[in-house]
Amino acid sequence: MSRYLVTITPPTPNGDLHLGHISGPFLAADVFKKAKILQGNEVLLISYSDDHQSYMARKAREQDRNVLELASENAALIEKSMQAMHIDCDFFMRSGNNGFFAASVQRFFDAAVQRGLICEAEVSVPYDDELGTIGYEAYARGQCSDCGYPTDLSQCENCACTPDPSLTKDIHSPVTKRPLPSRPMRRLALDIDKIMPVLVEHYAQRPPERLLADFIVEHADRKGQKWCFDRNGDAGIPVLYQGNTVVVSTWFAGIAGYHAALCEYAYRVGDMNLVQEFWAGDTRHLVHFLGYDCSYSHAIAYPGLLWADTGKVGRVSHFTNAFLKLDGLDFSTSRNYAVWVRDIVQEHDPDVIRLYLALFSPEESPENFDQTHFGEWARNSSGLFARIAAALLYQPDPEAAFSGNAAMVSAWRAATGDQGFSMKRCAVLQMELLRGIERALDLGLDVSAVVFVAAVLGYPLHPRLSIQLLQRFQLSLEDAIDMLQRHSGAAVVSGAELEVA
Ligand SMILES: [Zn+2]
């Protein structure tokens, strides 16, 4: 049994959740959580509302609103949308004006200071004389110094690097659209050269997966990287440094945010031992789900800060995603170009939406959500779900059911492993099972055994249907977890049989 602390990158509370969010870290983290619970582990899924984003400060300023009020309204919508999609987030922290968060940020900052990881860097920073704003992030855009893609100056939305302002072209204000001059500033930075040997050792033991593999290789070879993280004059979190207050960016604070969310959750449920067990214990496993654009903070800075805090990185995994498009275009909260969770769950079964998003998950490369295709697929799948739910079922012998589907159980275990986890692969396998049941029903065969296996293995993807089917067998989820542990051992076959397309 392991203890997994699973994290979803904190959403910016500038609006509700749309399908672009769900298809990225939100659904994948929940599928991972449910799969690990089925395998008999303890899992906590946490996230938080990213109230200290520069973009939030800009939006509040534009709307003449209080930033915390605006964040709080949207955080409530985000939580409701997660619930509507059956994403079981154990705790969604509100980071604004939060003592747990402030304490954790100071803790990780102090740890970095004590390890000598903080340095100063003289860099040019865009400045808007007219608005009086500094272009660290929400107030400046340009063409990325690495890939040329339009981005802010904090982290490239395309290649995930941290653009060098002195090499970034066409720096302009996204508010006034005018070009911005730059001025030299002394800034605080993480000295990545001092972290890199720790990271190289860490990733040698736990090879990064998906898009992260090339990213780590490329950044491991770069010398003199300094990750500027102060945000004096912009939104961020104040910390004490050498007797002065310094504002640090929300990106620097991310690992502290996850730690704080765990601390506040433990406090609220009255069991502070959870912090030790899920953060510092030997069996803990920290698993980050993130959009690829958040790679620098999560895969380079945070392992370094973990090491600064405790002297070891420990078990940490990252699962990145590329992005979903909507009928060929980028989702946009600000332009209201999105399919909102609150709307689509009125029309479709959340289980069907989950399965479709998992099948077309942008794990390795962008995917497109075609609304017409989804509509047709959803109608067919709802029909199939209803047909399976209404089938004549007898309680099968679990051992025989699992061993009769041994290749499928093995492939499922491979797709839900600590290494190589893939929600998409889980969904492909599950569709094979469901289509197999459909064919057997057409032939009038007894489908009890395969429906039982599909109900257990499909729980991470379609939890409501699975619970409903298990009830038909007079089984609870706990029974299913127990049966999977006890009876599927024989079903684990050799690696050669894992190759299921
Ligand atoms: Zn780039």
The three-state DSSP-derived secondary structure of 221-240 is CCCCCEEECECCCCCCEEEE
Residue whose token pair is 């899992």: 43
Phi, psi of 214 (to 5 degrees): -65, -35
Ligand 1 geometric centre to CA of 101 (Å): 30
Per-residue pLDDT of the chain (501 residues; tens, 9 = 90+): 889 999 999 999 999 999 999 999 999 999 999 999 999 999 999 999 999 999 999 999 999 999 999 999 999 999 999 999 999 999 999 999 999 999 999 999 999 999 999 999 999 999 998 888 898 889 999 999 999 999 988 889 889 888 888 889 999 999 899 999 999 999 999 999 999 999 999 999 999 988 899 999 999 999 999 999 999 989 999 999 999 999 999 999 999 999 999 999 999 999 999 999 999 877 789 999 999 999 999 999 999 999 999 999 999 999 999 999 999 999 988 889 999 999 999 999 999 999 999 999 999 999 999 999 999 999 999 999 999 999 999 999 999 999 999 999 999 999 999 999 999 999 999 999 999 999 999 999 999 999 999 999 999 999 999 999 999 999 999 999 999 998 876 444 433 333 333
* C-alpha of residue 182 to centroid of ligand 1, in Å: 20
Name the fold adopted by 116-245. Answer: Methionyl-trna Synthetase; domain 2 (2.170.220)
16 alpha carbon – ligand 1 mean position (Å): 27
Ligand 1 centroid to 399 CA: how many Å? 52
For residue 60, give both structure tokens.
Answer: 């509040």
What separation in Å is there between the alpha carbon of 233 and the centre of ligand 1? 25
| Residues, beta carbon < 5 Å, ion ligand 1 | 144, 146-147, 149, 156, 158-159
Cα(54) to centroid(ligand 1), Å:
20
168 alpha carbon – ligand 1 mean position (Å): 10
The secondary structure element, H or E, covering residue 284 is: strand 284-291
User: 58 CA to middle of ligand 1, Å?
Assistant: 23
Fold annotation for 350-492? Isoleucyl-tRNA Synthetase; Domain 1 (1.10.730)
Cβ neighbours of residue 347 closer than 8 Å, sequence gap 6 or more: none
Same fold, 3-106+250-325 and 116-245: no
Q: Are 323 and 283 in contact (CB under 8 A)?
A: no
Place of tokens 């939060």: 98
Round to whole Å and give the CA distance between 156 and 252.
16
The domain spans of the chain are 3-106+250-325, 116-245, 350-492
| pTM of this structure | 0.95
Say whether 163 sits in a helix, a strand or coil.
coil
Which residues, including other chains, have CB under 8 Å from residue 393's CB and lie 6 or more apart? 447, 448, 451, 452, 469, 472, 473
Question: Domain 3-106+250-325 belongs to what topology?
Answer: Rossmann fold (3.40.50)
- 149 CA distance to ligand 1 middle (Å): 5
